[in-house]
A = this chain, B = another copy of it.
């Protein structure tokens, strides 16, 4: 599995994707996101323990859209996940997205496909996220868990970060600290302002307090995740989300192919010359872009 993921990371994904095709559709995909410091890695580890105790096999894909330059997760995370390192029912993989737009959009879905075809019951995608990366997680996951913690910016900041809209489940971590109840109250108030989820039969994201370091309230989290999965199936939302995810993936791959074409046709020197003319104010960027597009046909 690890070697297959390396293949898809290194742009050799075509054959791998074809080989996976007959084995797809089993895994549940759960995204876990939140600002740095809310305890994503600890929560992921606690969730893995819960799911393993129930007999599910689990793959963890730690996506690091925020680390385009250094590439890869730091030591701390790996240590926190170490209790699961020797469990054959757990697979852990870090993935950097290398700072190009569409990085997560192209490589991560292929890694998901490999993990799904490999037969894992649950795939957890953990990602550092405020903003764009969260939106991308939403496109990847069936269910998105947004982690918050007291003292990590108030609910107004969470709202600014677009967090309210993307969550299927809120977990207020570090609930043994001062301010946890305030985070919950603020979230409830924000939810009441939004109102978008109040239609009958629609999903209103539950708010669960937890202490990930001690696994506290993780049974409640798993129960909420199961309720959301039932909702996804019942409402047809699962098909809608997976279709949307596939559409985004196809578009990202197609645009990646086009981007490579630009480079093949013009060479990096040609592209640099075009960019230089735009930077020098000699050429409108739209005119330069039109030249690129015209060169495709």
Contacts and interface: CB of A to CB of B under 8 A. Distances in A.
Interface of A: 13-14, 17-18, 21-22, 24-25, 35-37, 64-70, 73-74, 76, 99, 101-102, 105, 109-110, 128-135, 151-154, 156-162, 165-166, 239, 242-247, 249-259, 261-262, 271-272, 274-276, 278-279, 281, 284-286, 288-290, 292-293, 296-297
Q: Which 6 A-B pairs have CB atoms at the shortest separation, nearest pair first?
A: A66-B131, A247-B275, A37-B153, A253-B289, A246-B278, A36-B157
Given A35-B35, A250-B289, A292-B254, A65 B243 contact: no
A285 to B, nearest CB: 5
Contacts of A251: 259, 262, 271, 289, 292
A220 to B, nearest CB: 26
Given A35-B153, A239-B279, A247-B275, A285 B134 contact: no
A158 B285 contact: no
A284 B25 CA distance: 13
A153 B101 contact: no
A116 B290 CA distance: 23
Given A70-B165, A258-B293, 8 more contacts: A22-B281, A36-B153, A68-B132, A74-B156, A152-B153, A250-B278, A254-B258, A296-B297
A154 B109 CA distance: 31
A160 to B, nearest CB: 6
A151 B177 CA distance: 14
A73 to B, nearest CB: 7
A285 B36 contact: no
